[in-house]
Structure 1
Amino acid sequence: MTQPQKGICAEPNLHAQYLLFNVVDDDMSAVRAKLAACLDLFDHFDEEHYEAMVSGVVGVGSNFWSELYPGNSPRALAPFPDMQSDDRCAPVIPCDLFVQIRADRLDICHALGIEVMELMRLHTELVEQIRAFRYLDGRDLNGFIITEDNPRGMKKFEISTVGDDDPDFAGGSYVHVQRYRHDMTRWHALSEKRQEDIIGKTKEHNLPVVDSGLSSHAFRTKITGANGEFPILLNQSMPYGNMSVQGLYFVSCSSHPNAFKNLLHSRIYGDQNGHYDRLLDYSNAETGAAFFAPSIQFIKAQALESESL
């Protein structure tokens, strides 16, 4: 049985480090070996610092996959869905590799990031690095709970990883990332009642707001599958920021990329009557990228095959 990377379905952590790379070396066998070595680093830090609940994810960019792993590709692999309507957009950032590191200790999260950077140094260039954190009881910096709809138990694996319908890539996950920047000055200028209407939930208790409308964030993100199932993706988003910039680093894992595509379409385009996600009036996506995070067995098998050639 194929095993998903541990970070795909890991429980929420206190800290995260996101690293985006472009590959600058033609030695693909070396890069494949480096990705397998990343998994070993994750395991080493998890064993050495078990109390920190370390986990990691390595994702390969949708446009880079065929170069790194020529031949067979995940059945539904697709580029990031570039969308724009009026001033709402989902920009794309060219990126070959994505590494997510999470832990309950900031020092361990940092130390593991340094190790990954050193490992990848000769073959890649760093596109972006973002350090994120858990805020209060799992809230965005706008004050509202982020991932209350995430499932638990085996349901997490069902919606976030590929099944037997694509057996060569079972255990893998379609990963989409976006970095959102909040306009906190405009957001804080709103009354709490107006904020709750935009989100569609109460701030204190996270209860549904009656008659919040078809443009609320809660309504526009409540996307169901073909058979009415909900949720259709696993949301691993975490806030990031400093004293001048605040935002949300959105990360989703799903068994099919259409889950994220449908979510994004609902938020940006909305319906035929112009009901889009009003939260986008106060939070803009500045980056976006699509990846596939293969199973542990796939990454290690491909690395061993390269060594034998």
Structure 2
Amino acid sequence: MNPEKAQDVWKDVGEHVQFTVLKLNKKDPEKDRLAIQVFADRSQAIIRSLRIRDSHLLADSGLKVAFGFSNKAWEYLFPHAAKPKELENYSGLKGPKYQMPATEGDIFFHIRASNEAVVYEAQTQFRRFLKDVTEVVDETKGFRYFEGRAIIGFIDGTEAPAAEDAADYALIGDEDPDFINGSYAFAQKWLHHMDFWNSLKTEDQEKAVGREKFNDLELEDSDKFKNAHNISSKVEINGIEQKIIRMNVPFSDPASGETGTYFMGYARHWTVTKLMLEQMLSTSDFLLSFSDIVSGQLFFIPSRDLIAKIANGDLDQ
């Protein structure tokens, strides 16, 4: 495992963020594969170039990029290649009261930077090499809210691993050596009924999340709702708590009243993320009571070495 060989799957959330999901046209497999090869090659140069173009003395744009493929896209583009062990078609999950639907998506982008112009330019240049073989399923622009808080007003990511420990939770290891330094990304879009949430007293919001709103201190379990978010989303296997790298981002179109959270989770094991989602559903996580989940899909984020193989046409040999 070598974090330097990975895409940006555990680094900072960013100030300006864009999530883009594309669908392959799938009209001409050879043309599609060639376009992906060219994109895989040119994308790395685009990233390097933009980091140089927007650097200012000791500061830079903080450009971070990760992209990957769904299971259906992998099987279509690389039909003769091996496949990551845990990559599967996400077909949605259901609980006793709520569900998490699956939506279309073949190629996924997660781009963030401190300068919106850099995010725009990166996606524009990437699109140049993919526009003839794909169509846009969803494009969501997110932002960093005050103090790194979620749009519901609570500090987000407190339980995420520290940066120095993150790679162990985000990157595939030698349990799947052909895909080492890759990652499983789960992308999910939540719309919140903010009028309902804002109508709750702060004390009830705290019981729903499981933490104090102002200072982020965790409540005693006896002071939380039974379906508090930090209870519902906590996963243990053999008594050991499992973690993923969460990069949740607020998004909003205030004029239309559409406000939500783009849930972005990177993990060494998709099974851990999936177990977390299943537990949130089985316990009817309080966050689900005022939210509509409108999208969801699993993607594999290849390492930079694997991107080079795709670019050279060596992956599907």
TM more than 0.5: yes
Deviation of 1:195 after TM superposition, in Å, equals 0.8
Tell me the C-alpha RMSD between the 2 structures.
1.9
Structure 2: how far apart are the matches of 1:80 and 1:226? 25
What are the Cα deviations for residues 162-188 of structure 1, in whole angstroms up to 9, with x where unaligned?
001111100000000000000001111
Letter in 2 for 1:236: M
Structure 1: how far apart are the matches of 2:124 and 2:296? 24
Structure 2: how far apart are the matches of 1:57 and 1:257? 17
Structure 2: how far apart are the matches of 1:46 and 1:69? 30
Q: Do structure 1's residue 140 and structure 2's residue 150 form an aligned pair? A: yes
Paired positions, count: 303
Structure 2: how far apart are the matches of 1:95 and 1:20? 6
Structure 1: how far apart are the matches of 2:119 and 2:89? 29
**Residue 305 of structure 2 corresponds to which residue in structure 1?**
297
Contact map agreement 2:35 2:130 (CA 8 A) in 1: no
**Residue 68 of structure 1 corresponds to which residue in structure 2?**
77
Letter in 2 for 1:254: A
Structure 2: how far apart are the matches of 1:191 and 1:227? 34
**Residue 218 of structure 1 corresponds to which residue in structure 2?**
230
Out of 157, 180, 184, the position equivalent to 1:170 is 180
Contact map agreement 1:156 1:234 (CA 8 A) in 2: yes
Contact map agreement 2:309 2:315 (CA 8 A) in 1: no
Structure 1: how far apart are the matches of 2:167 and 2:237? 16
Q: Which runs of 5+ in 1 are unaligned?
A: 271-275
Contact map agreement 1:171 1:294 (CA 8 A) in 2: yes
Structure 1: how far apart are the matches of 2:246 and 2:219? 22
**Residue 246 of structure 2 corresponds to which residue in structure 1?**
235
What are the Cα deviations for residues 80-128 of structure 1, in whole angstroms up to 9, with x where unaligned?
2511234411111111000111001112112222222222111110111
- Change in CA separation of 1:164 and 1:248 when aligned onto 2, cut-off 3 Å: same
Letter in 1 for 2:170: S
**Residue 246 of structure 1 corresponds to which residue in structure 2?**
259
Letter in 1 for 2:266: C
**Residue 288 of structure 1 corresponds to which residue in structure 2?**
296
Q: Which runs of 5+ in 2 are unaligned?
A: none
Contact map agreement 1:4 1:161 (CA 8 A) in 2: no
- Change in CA separation of 1:224 and 1:38 when aligned onto 2, cut-off 3 Å: farther
Structure 1: how far apart are the matches of 2:168 and 2:204? 36
- Change in CA separation of 1:177 and 1:106 when aligned onto 2, cut-off 3 Å: same
Other structure's SS at 1:63 match? helix
Contact map agreement 1:161 1:171 (CA 8 A) in 2: yes
Contact map agreement 2:234 2:241 (CA 8 A) in 1: no
What are the Cα deviations for residues 137-182 of structure 1, in whole angstroms up to 9, with x where unaligned?
1111110111111222442110001001111100000000000000
- Write the mapping of 1:144-163 to structure 2, written as runs, cut at 5 A: 144-163=154-173
Other structure's SS at 1:300 match? helix
Contact map agreement 1:5 1:56 (CA 8 A) in 2: no
**Residue 273 of structure 1 corresponds to which residue in structure 2?**
none
Letter in 1 for 2:270: P
Letter in 2 for 1:256: H
Out of 36, 46, 50, the position equivalent to 1:45 is 50
Stretch of structure 1 that moved more, 103-112 or 258-267: 103-112
Structure 1: how far apart are the matches of 2:277 and 2:91? 8
Q: Do structure 1's residue 85 and structure 2's residue 95 form an aligned pair? A: yes
Q: Percent identity?
A: 22
Letter in 2 for 1:22: K
Other structure's SS at 1:218 match? helix
Letter in 2 for 1:234: I
Structure 2: how far apart are the matches of 1:30 and 1:114? 16
| TM-score, normalised by the number of residues in structure 1 | 0.92
Structure 2: how far apart are the matches of 1:77 and 1:190? 40
Structure 1: how far apart are the matches of 2:47 and 2:297? 23
Contact map agreement 1:4 1:294 (CA 8 A) in 2: no
- Write the mapping of 1:91-106 to structure 2, written as runs, cut at 5 A: 91-106=101-116
Other structure's SS at 2:8 match? helix
Contact map agreement 2:96 2:281 (CA 8 A) in 1: no
Contact map agreement 1:36 1:303 (CA 8 A) in 2: yes
| TM-score, normalised by the number of residues in structure 2 | 0.90
Stretch of structure 1 that moved more, 89-98 or 208-217: 208-217
Structure 1: how far apart are the matches of 2:279 and 2:315? 45
